[in-house]
């Protein structure tokens, strides 16, 4: 069983504090710290762990212990919106584990966080128990500064813990989701309006694909524009469909695609699906991928 | 280190003999028998093993021991061309191993086979020591029945063992090669001449791509035709280039591609390369594939 977990923590400047959290994770058995990185302007760090359910659970609790001790939201400033010391904790199914098991794990960890640290916990995405509280952005709106007022309303009663923020650690959002793909398409034009119109057309909020978040940006140094996206469920909204739609929309403005880029990691199944689509491969099964076959046996 | 080895054995009818060979492989440490299958009309079986160099070496020798004892080419009949009891043994680099190491392994196993069983061995493909003896088809031409005459000529002196066939086990062809992809493209037409012309245009022997073998076939039951291919080096002749060329050639006859199919296994890198091509992904690195990253760390 392999679960990925990507805790986002509200500290990106004091490197000793971040290093202590990384060490706390590394001391846990059954989990590996794949990567961590800090953004000083966001004042935020992102940890990437993988392991089995027990290992990932223990590692997240160890991370909470350090974060609650070392981070005080009352003095925290940064560009990125945040609600708590450990701001967001998604569990992601990778191999030999179902989404339902990741949802169970999110609930178990959420209950333990509330119990051990007195931090209120909201469940989000697949673990959400309330359609109005599925999206991270909705839960986080108002941020730490608005939390005391928000959480006292009945519709914002947390899933676990008290109906009041932890004084220094705020609240945490814990849940389960599919692997996220950060995907950018660069257009052979400097017209920002074209990138913005395409982004609006393809994202869910604009009436586009269900699992696409998108925005248009200017890449000043290169004199071109970019449609920057998060694909939040590559099985249901596959990358090739997004690419082809962007290409078609761009053509309507006489613009062509210069290139695209994957930022960070992508599951091999997402690449295989694109190959299947373009090569018109019928009847393909995941265990025909040599590496999958080798892992199974 | 992971090496794949796919011995082809000249027995596909007596299932007890095939099962005894599979058991002999299974008893070896450091190697796994992923799969084996027999074709009665070819009277031939194909075993797929993976393991480290020592494990794969021992497994192949164990397979030879049973095959030399149980198979007699003097009474063997089947539709598939063959030279020996263990007809062909390719070693394929999969992970953490170079082609050069697989070539060394092929030579080591070849020497051991000649020494222990008195079977002459020809080295082929990447392990070949003679450009005229690189292709399996050239080595196997004349088959077992023509071997005694062929092998006595100086240019067909085997790389290991005597210049005469083993009386019952013939000779063996051992070597190293890239993973082979069996890839078929079905055309939306019943015109066999179109499939044959396209096959001739894209295969190496017809002036086409260096690492493509191709033939045109009729799929009688479906009333369509197929371009059936082996891609022998997917890094140098990638699958997407072959697909696009077949599509273009078919269009010249007013024919479109109905579908394609991967037969058996395909390395994930071959699918990733197709996704990169069609999605115009720039700067992609293999360790951005989530599963690769997980395996490394």
Token reading at B97:
């191993």
Report the alpha-carbon distance of residue B290 to residue B296 in Å, rounded.
Answer: 10
Rounded-to-5 percentages of helix, strand, coil across chain A: 40, 25, 35
E strands along chain A, which residues? 2-5, 8-9, 31-39, 44-51, 86-95, 121-125, 172-176, 181-187, 212-219, 224-231, 257-263
Nearest-10 Cα torsion for A13, A15, A21, A22? 120
- pLDDT number for residue B175: 98
> Smallest Cα–Cα separation from A257: which of A166, A165, A160, A188?
A188
- pLDDT number for residue A296: 61
Chain A residue numbers with beta carbons less than 8 Å from the beta carbon of B290 are: 4, 94, 179, 265-268
Does B262 sit within 8 Å of A284, measured CB to CB? Answer: yes
- pLDDT number for residue B43: 95
Q: What is the pTM of this model?
A: 0.77
Check if A200 contacts B (Cβ < 8 Å): no
> Smallest Cα–Cα separation from B44: which of B16, B82, B74?
B82
Chain B residue numbers with beta carbons less than 8 Å from the beta carbon of A282 are: 259-261
- pLDDT number for residue B46: 94
- In chain A, the residue whose alpha carbon lies closest to the alpha carbon of B245 is A279
The residue ranges of chain A whose pLDDT is under 70 are 295-297
B184, β-bridge pairs:
B228, B261
Going residue by residue through chain B (297 aa), what tens digit of pLDDT does each one get?
889 999 999 999 999 999 999 999 999 999 999 889 998 988 999 999 999 999 999 999 999 999 999 999 999 999 889 999 999 999 999 888 999 999 999 999 999 999 999 999 999 999 999 999 999 999 999 999 999 999 999 999 999 999 999 999 999 999 999 999 999 999 999 999 999 999 999 999 999 999 999 999 999 999 999 999 999 999 999 999 999 999 999 999 999 999 999 988 899 899 999 999 999 999 998 888 888 877 665
- pLDDT number for residue B280: 97
Torsion-angle region of residue A125: left (phi > 0), alpha (psi -120 to 50) or beta? Answer: left
- In chain A, the residue whose alpha carbon lies closest to the alpha carbon of B256 is A280
> Cβ contacts of residue A148 below 8 Å, gap of 6+?
A164, A165
> Smallest Cα–Cα separation from A281: which of B217, B136, B247, B260?
B260
Chain A residue numbers with beta carbons less than 8 Å from the beta carbon of B291 are: 95, 267-268, 291
For residue A163, the SS3 value is coil
């Amino acid at each position: 069983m392999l679960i990925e977990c990507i805790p986002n923590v509200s500290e990106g400047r004091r490197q000793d504090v971040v290093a202590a959290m990384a060490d706390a994770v590394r001391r846990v058995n059954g989990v590996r710290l794949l990567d961590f990185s800090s953004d000083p302007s966001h004042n935020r760090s992102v940890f990437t762990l993988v392991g089995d359910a027990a290992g990932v659970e223990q590692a997240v609790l160890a991370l909470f212990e350090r974060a609650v001790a070392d981070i005080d939201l009352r003095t925290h400033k940064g560009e990125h919106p945040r609600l708590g010391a450990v701001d967001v904790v998604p569990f992601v199914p990778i191999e030999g584990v179902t989404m339902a098991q990741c949802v169970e794990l999110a609930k178990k960890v959420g209950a333990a966080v509330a119990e051990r640290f007195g931090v209120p916990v909201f469940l989000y995405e697949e673990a959400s128990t309330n359609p109005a509280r599925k999206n991270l952005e909705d839960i986080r709106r108002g941020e730490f500064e608005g939390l005391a007022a928000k959480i006292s309303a009945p519709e914002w009663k947390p899933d676990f813990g008290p109906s009041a923020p932890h004084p220094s650690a705020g609240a945490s959002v814990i849940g389960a989701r599919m692997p996220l793909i950060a995907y950018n398409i660069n257009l052979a034009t400097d017209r920002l309006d074209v990138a913005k119109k395409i982004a609006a057309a393809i994202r869910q909020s604009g009436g586009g694909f269900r699992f696409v978040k998108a925005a248009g940006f200017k890449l000043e140094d290169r004199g071109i524009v970019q449609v920057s996206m998060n694909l939040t469920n590559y099985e249901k909204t596959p990358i090739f469909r997004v690419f082809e739609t962007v290409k078609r929309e761009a053509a309507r403005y006489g613009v062509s695609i210069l290139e695209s880029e994957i930022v960070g990691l992508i599951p091999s199944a997402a690449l295989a699906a694109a190959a299947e689509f373009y090569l018109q491969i019928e009847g393909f099964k995941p265990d025909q991928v040599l590496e999958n076959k080798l892992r199974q046996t």
